Every structure is written in structure tokens, then in C-alpha cells.
Amino acid sequence: MEVVLVDRELGNDGDLSLLGRVDVLVKSPGVPRKVPLVVDAERRGVPVWSEVELGYRLLQPRLLGVTGTNGKTTTCELLGVMLRAPVAGNVGRALTDLYREVEPGTWIVCELSSFQLEDVHELACEIAVLLNLEPDHLDRHGSFEAYRDAKLRIFERARTKIVPRGLGLDGIEFAADDPLPSEPLMRGVHNRENAAAATAAARAAGIADEQIADALRTFPGVPHRLELVRELNGVRYVNDSKATNVAAALRALAAYEDEPVQLILGGSSKGEDFAPLAAAIGPNVRSVHAIGETAGELAGVIPGTDRDGDLATALQAIEAEPGDVVLLSPACASYDQFRDFEERGEEFRRLVQNLSA
């Protein structure tokens, strides 16, 4: 098999003549369908696959797929502990990386983004989980309807469907108030909802409640999701850099609704409306500090917002008191100032660790 690598850094991403040599184009999820190479491949009848499609065909696993607007990584990692199974996909490790490491028929937990689900054809989840559906990636998909349709492709060919109660979808329903075999260690109603979805999926996979309960009691969550970085002089600093949309930031605010919060928002725009976020900011939020590309827009809808520009300036401007929570929950992507949300969270962690007592 001959593989032709195409990348912007190689300078060949615009070379349409390469398509004359290939039988299939495997597309990174970060590459939009509208780029000339993909458009011309479809015109020529060259199949366009997502990387997870290739991984599925190579591995032939028992796939437990998870999608949703928020909570995918947390739920996948929790399910990996419950099933004692490898985790791959959008979570960090490509599905194809597991080739030659696992036997066909092995359980694999796979995080599936809307970008990955755009280009699946034979991929079939034995168990498919939809966590939630809220506006996101409108800059890429163009409309909520197109985004929703991409997400719902996870149910094509799925044997068992796990769905949120109240959405009117066919499948095994879950909700945040479901009885669980143990209360989760993770904080927040949204994480209890993630735990309920994981429990329903694990039970569908045949996992005993005792094993599920042990995972719920011990799983601490994943970095950049309501991650307590440090407590200094009675002030807790919480890294929620993965809150890259309004819905995720709303969940973070709900998790700390009974505590005084100094809130850091902002980043690069995803085309979302910030009005619901403004409406949810209650009296417990003592200050709002906006950074990045969307700072002006946020200041325009949230009265009293300080436009601080960057994380370092925001942290310097916050006058926190013992008992306060300094919460980075941006409600925006990170690409204006950082490579990704992880780099943003690492910078927040570094700045907080360097604060002096």
C-alpha cells in the first residue's frame, strides 16, 4: 500500500494532481470539506473517509462511541475505566494508532466529534452515546441543523443507542437525576449527567454495577475541565479551559452557583450568541474579566466586564478574597492567542502556580 501525505506545511495541500494517484482520501477532522482537494476528490468520485472510518475498518472493534457538544472526553475516560478498555478518537489518541495493538472484537471507547462523523460510511458503534446537543462549531457547519445532523450520524448502524431524556430520540434514556450505583467523585450537575450516560452505556456493555461504582467513586475527571489548579490564601483557582462554548461555561457557572466567583471569559469567536451567558451571570459572580478576540463583544453584553486582554493581565486585575473561586471558563475557542484549549489551560496553570502568597 502506498500512502501519500498531504499537509499545508509540506506545501502540497493545493496539488490537485495528487488525486490521480489515490483510491481513497483520508481526511483529518480539522480539514473542512470545502477545501479544494476535498471538493475535487468528491467531483472525481474518490471516496473521502474520516480517520476513524479507516481505523474502524482496520481494527474491526466492538466500538462504544460517544458524541455530544460537551462532556465527551470526561465520559469517554470514565467509560475507559469502567470497561477497562482503551480510549481513542477525538480524545487525543487516533483510532488508527491502536492498529496491531488490539485484537478484532476488542472493546474500544471512541470519542467522535461532528468533524469526524461527517465522513463515516461503514463505521458502526455497538453502543452509541449522545450526551447533549447545543449550538457549537457554527463557524464550520454553517447552521445548528447541519451541526446536529453531523452529530446524529453516530446512530447510523448503531446496535444500542444511549440518549438524553427529553430529546425525543429513540434509545435508552439517561438524565442527571438517575439513581447510580455510587455518587461520582467529579463536581457539578453536568458531571453527574456524564456519569449517568456512562453508567447506562457500561450496563449495556454488560459491566457489573460493582465495577461501575468503583469507577464512579475514584475517577477524578480530566485536565482543563473544572480542574482545581491551586488553593492560595483561601482562594481556589479552577481551570475550565475546555469550556470552548457558551453551554460549557453555563455548566461551570452552575457548578459554583453558591460560591463567590471571579470569572475569566473570552477567546476566539465561534459565532455564538453570548446573551444566554450574560443572563446566567448571577450575583455570586463578583467580577468578569474578558480576554482575547471576543473581549469587546463580551463587554458589550455583560455590564461591568473588565477588558483585560490576556490571562496574565486578568489574573493581576482580580482582587480575590478568601472563599472566592477564580474560574477560567472562556465560553470561546482559544485560537486567537493559543494553539488550543490545552495550551490555554497550561498557561493559566503556570500563571497561577507562579502567584506569590
Task: Report whether 32 contacts 95 (CB < 8 A).
Answer: no
From residue 305, alpha-carbon distances to 28, 227, 302, 309 in Å are 38, 24, 6, 12
Nearest to 182 by CA among 131, 218, 225, 222: 218
What distance in Å separates the CA atoms of residue 89 and residue 110, rounded to the nearest whole number? Answer: 5
Catalytic annotation, pick one of 27, 70, 72, 239: 72
Tell how far CA 353 is from the center of its chain: 25
CB 329 within 8 A of CB 240: yes
- For the range 312-316, what are the long-range contacts, defined as Cβ-Cβ under 8 Å and sequence gap of 24 or more? 312/351, 314/264, 314/289, 315/264, 315/351, 315/352, 315/355
Read off the amino acid at residue 264. Answer: I
What the block records as the C-alpha cell of 354 is 507562579
Contact in structure between 195 and 186 (CB atoms under 8 Å): yes
Q: Can 224 be counted among the known catalytic residues?
A: no
Is residue 141 part of the annotated active site? The answer reads no
Using an 8 Å Cβ cutoff, are 49 and 25 in contact? yes
CB 348 within 8 A of CB 239: yes
Grid coordinates given for 300: 458589550
d(C-alpha 184, C-alpha 167), whole Å: 24
Helix and strand totals (H; E) in the chain? 13, 14
In the set 27, 70, 132, 137, the catalytic residue is 137
Catalytic annotation, pick one of 27, 70, 90, 161: 90
* Placement of cell 489574573 in the chain: 315
Q: Is residue 218 exposed (0-12), middle (13-18) or buried (19+ Cβ within 10 Å)?
A: exposed
Apex 75 CA angle, 171 and 119, nearest 5: 70
137 is catalytic: yes
The residues assigned a catalytic role are 72, 90, 137
